[in-house]
Amino acid sequence: MRAITESEIRTSFINCSKGEAKRLGLPRDLAEQPWAELDFLGWQDQGAPGRAYLVTERGDRWAGVALRVTSGGGRGFTARSMCSLCLTTRTGGSVALMTARRTGEAGRQGNTVGQYLCGDLACSLYLRGRKVSAGGRLVEETLTLEEKVARLHANLNAFLDKITE
């Protein structure tokens, strides 16, 4: 993805209020992100436990999604969960159920979309073997990296579609 600035992040959110977007905590190391290896920028809000965010390019626009972490670790230590974006399987709650408020009227009525996602939202780096987490492994498969990246984008777009449809 292209490098994104703080002000671009704050104006990218599709499912939270402008006030919320203005106040949310940004990644501290924004300038040092490995942009060429990121399909989306994802982070947990260090100042607000249980809040996480992801920003990606959609067409020629940025799309930011505010997420609530609704579980993680509650399913027992040995339970394995699979991230719906990068398909990494992990134990010990490091894949978390996150929910996004839907846009428009559905969102005003309190409708949300839930997905299991890597808790640190570093899917792009797991996919490229740049980050390894204890207890985590990618499903054994013969796809090339390009095919896996394309699948991650398709999964992410499907998630965004569910939020905005």
Note the residues at the interface with Zn ion (CB under 5 A): 83, 85-86, 118, 123
Rounded to a whole number of angstroms, the minimum distance from the CB of residue 57 to Zn ion is 18
End-to-end Cα, the chain, rounded Å: 24
Residue 138 C-beta: closest distance to Zn ion, Å: 10
Amino acid at 72: G
Give 57 or 116: the residue with its C-beta nearer to Zn ion: 116
User: What residue has token string 């499912």?
Assistant: 15
Nearer to Zn ion, 83 or 98 (CB): 83
Closest to 65 in 3D by CA, of 165, 146, 142, 156: 156
Structure tokens, 36: 């060429």
Quick one: 4 or 152, whose CB is closer to Zn ion?
152
- State the minimum distance, in angstroms, from the CB of residue 85 to Zn ion: 5
Nearer to Zn ion, 9 or 123 (CB): 123
Determine the length of the chain: 165
Question: Minimum Å distance from CB 141 to Zn ion?
Answer: 15
Nearest-CB residue for Zn ion? 83
Nearest CB to Zn ion, comparing residues 16 and 125: 125
State the minimum distance, in angstroms, from the CB of residue 74 to Zn ion.
18
Contacts for 1-7 with beta carbons within 8 Å, 24 or more apart?
A: 1/35, 1/38, 1/39, 1/40, 1/41, 1/56, 1/57, 2/35, 2/57, 3/33, 3/35, 4/41, 4/55, 4/62, 6/30
